[in-house]
Amino acid sequence: MADTTAQPSRSRDLDKLLLRPGHLVGPNFEPGPELRDDLKEYAKVLVVGAGGLGCELLKDLALSGFRNLEVIDMDRIEVSNLNRQFLFRFEDVGKPKAEVAAKRVMDRISGVNIVPHFCRIEDKELEFYNDFSIIVLGLDSIEARSYINAVACSFLEYDSDDNPREETIKPMVDGGTEGFKGHARIIMPGVTPCFECTIWLFPPQVKFPLCTLAETPRTAAHCIEYAHLIKWDEAHSGKSFDPDNPEHMQWVYSEAVKRAELFGILGVTYSLTQGVVKNIIPAIASTNAIISAACALETLKIVSACSKTLSNYLTYNGVEGLHTKVTEFVKDKDCLVCGPGILIELDTSVTLKKFIDLLEDHPKLLLSRASVTHRGKNLYMQGPPVLEEMTRSNLDMPLCDLMDKIPKDIVHVTGIAGKGDKKQSCLRKLRVVFKGIDGVTDMDTAGGA
């Protein structure tokens, strides 16, 4: 007699969430096979980062019913990654993390399609990010989080009463780990606090995971730790580094300066070198797994409405025992990133070049090397050279004409914000108003937001 025992479905546990009603579901939850199938066919998820947390996220999301995933990461695999980034093997050293991680998950989980992107997050156009249902962050730097946060918030539109339009909200789930500590949070731009609203949660970044140092440094501290942890061993054949030896410290400082100059990074000083050489944070595989699980679950809840979401910031501490806590932070109504946008009033005669110059002097922007887009059209791009040449002729044209004489509209600008050695890439949303068109009156907007 043939064996007629039914094999358990791989989505059995997922079916319990998606096929049945419940008391904790969201207001738009409609249980049934259609929801499960729509999740597989239509939900597109972008994972930003393919390191320790990113590897876990790709695996968890693929096993949670998502079939259309993409991952972006600019780093290559290092030997130091192998103890916790479980998708990588020794033979993968030197290969792009995004490509190897995508292939390995697809090899193990049938039916999932993961598109890798081996590039910087700034290299992608805004519309690339707008194509996803939700963005999940597995990053290890404040600067990268700020950039993606600004990108997601740039899609947000407000109605005449300054209430966010629901259809323009781009959800994000952000995870982060630091040794035995971690966090998971949801960001619904315009509704919950965005990353910039709670930037004060993060102390000055003087410690970094090892995996960020070897490839593309982003800060002065990365350059210092590269000289301390990697270059020292290469140059001194196993000789121990003594942080109390002035000659050793001077050598690290000199090498860090060279690396900073190579990558155009400012801020390497001898005193900073002394302050950061002892501050490397261990990356713990179990912490990555715990935080990834929380992020994957929140992603599923947001996309399917199968349960109420986190409100809105979860912290995990496994240093002594186990402690988790959920804190509901409040949105900053004056936030420059997730708010309606900085209001700028202009004469109709102001050229695009003059507008770009004004951004550099604006007290709330301090934006240099700005690129400008309007409704997906590149008005002026600082790079690459071919785009700069194509848009250069627009610089002498009135911005009003380039915006088709629309009295007031949203303009997106990207560039370098800040002063001195505290500069970073950013994206800002501006509400541009032209005086004297269709009844637009003079307004005091010098400090408006």
Q: What is the mean pLDDT of residues 185-203?
A: 90
Alpha helices per DSSP H over 266-374: 270-276, 285-304, 352-361
Q: Are 214 and 197 in a shared domain?
A: no
**Domain C-terminal end among 263, 297, 327:** 327
Q: What is the pLDDT of residues 346-370, one digit of tens each?
A: 999 999 999 999 998 888 888 888 9
The residue from 153, 197, 211, 338 that is catalytic is: 211
Q: What is the pLDDT of residues 290-321, one digit of tens each?
A: 999 999 999 999 999 999 999 999 999 998 88
Residue 333 domain flag: no
pLDDT at 46 (0 to 100)? 98
Q: Are 74 and 177 in a shared domain?
A: yes
Residue 232 domain flag: yes
Q: Are 183 and 224 in a shared domain?
A: no
Q: Kindly report the CATH number assigned to the domain that includes residue 183.
A: 3.40.50.720
Q: In what order do the strands lie in the sheet with 408-417?
A: 342-346, 424-434, 408-417, 367-374, 377-380
Residue 16 domain flag: no
The domain of 416 spans 342-442
pLDDT over 90, % of the chain: 49
**Domain C-terminal end among 243, 261, 278:** 278
Nearest Cα neighbor of 180 from 46, 315, 319, 281 is: 319
Q: What is the pLDDT of residues 2-46, one digit of tens each?
A: 554 555 567 788 888 899 988 888 888 999 999 989 999 999 999
Q: Are 173 and 294 in a shared domain?
A: yes
Q: Which amino acid is at 95?
A: K
Q: How many structural domains is the chain composed of?
A: 3
Q: Is 211 a catalytic residue?
A: yes
Nearest Cα neighbor of 54 from 78, 26, 75 is: 75
pTM of structure: 0.72
The radius of gyration of the chain from alpha carbons, rounded to an integer in Å, stands at: 24
